[in-house]
Structure 1
Amino acid sequence: MSLFDDDRPARKTAHEIGSDLSLLSVDELSARIDLLRAEIERLESEKAKKGASRSAAEGLFR
């Protein structure tokens, strides 16, 4: 164990859009699909919250 192990960049675990998929196993592809589905759900949830806030603000100022 080196003193400088913490200085090395951490291994990238997220999916990068457009990256080469040919070297990934079926399990790795499934993991990335799960990751992306979870991210889509997170984005849709945030969008719904912002939409509700906007609707409430529009109703207040009418």
Structure 2
Amino acid sequence: MDFDELFPSKPDDPLALLAKQDLGPLSQDELDARIEALGAEIERTRTHMAEAARHRSVADALFKR
């Protein structure tokens, strides 16, 4: 599966643009900073997913018959 299959209908999506950026001109320090920033974004996304899952389970328990 290639990248275009993952994001076919969102050409202006920041993730799609990020994945298409040319890394060639970046220095080692810039690449390290990029990796650190992406790692922080991954952690932020995982935290949000966990909070959403907790919220969903509370809602499911509340509205369960």
Q: Same fold (TM over 0.5)?
A: yes
Letter aligned with residue 53 of structure 1: H
Q: How many percent of aligned residue pairs carry the same amino acid?
A: 46
Q: TM-score, normalised by structure 1?
A: 0.72
Q: CA deviation at 1:17?
A: 2.0
Structure 2 residue aligned with 1:8: none
Q: Which runs of 4+ in 1 moved over 6 A?
A: none
Counterparts of residues 15-54 of structure 1 (less than 5 Å): 16-54=18-56
Number of equivalenced pairs: 48
In terms of Rg, which structure is larger? 1
Measure, in 2, the Cα distance between the counterparts of 1:45 and 1:18.
26
Q: TM-score, normalised by structure 2?
A: 0.69
SS in 2 for 1:46: helix
- Structure 2: gaps spanning 5 or more residues: 1-16
User: What CA RMSD, in Å, does the superposition of the two structures yield over aligned residues?
Assistant: 1.4
Which of the pair is proportionally richer in helix?
2
